[in-house]
Amino acid sequence: MCNVYVNADPILYESRTRALRIHGVVTTVRLENLFWDVLQEIANREDVTTTQFVVKLHDELIALRGEEPLNFASFLRVCCLRYLSTSAARNEAAGDVPLNAPFQPRVVKTAV
């Protein structure tokens, strides 16, 4: 069972820091490459850049909570996991992919 997890390409759990401009303020966010890949996938589905998507998440979170997130990187990780779990549940309901099938990430190299 653990082979599905342990055999992951090390590049997926290597961290990468990206500088994002959120309303004129440069903010750095450090996430593992897999999370950057998932954010890019979501952004592509929304037809926006990864930065635009992250800014949208930031703004909607502030609108909902009324304050800056304490740990924005953790929030982004949770967003990615929620996206993957809802996608898996949708696929399972449609009979496309078994819920217990191993996730096959797509490694996308982007310029920082």
What pLDDT, on the 0 to 100 scale, is given for residue 99?
Answer: 46
Please give the tally of structural domains in the chain. 1
In a domain, 102, yes or no: no
* CATH code for the domain in which residue 48 is found: 1.10.3990.20
106 in a domain, yes or no? no
Range of the domain at 83: 3-94
17 falls within a domain: yes
pTM reported for the whole predicted model: 0.76
Could you tell me the two tokens for 98?
């078994």
Residue pLDDT, tens place only, 55-91: 999 999 999 999 888 899 999 999 999 999 998 777 7
User: How far, in Å, are 5, 103, 104 from residue 2 at the CA level?
Assistant: 5, 13, 15
Give 53's Cβ-side CA count (13 Å radius). Answer: 18
Q: Could you count the other beta carbons within 10 Å of the beta carbon of residue 58?
A: 19
Reported as type and span, the H/E element at residue 76 is: helix 72-94
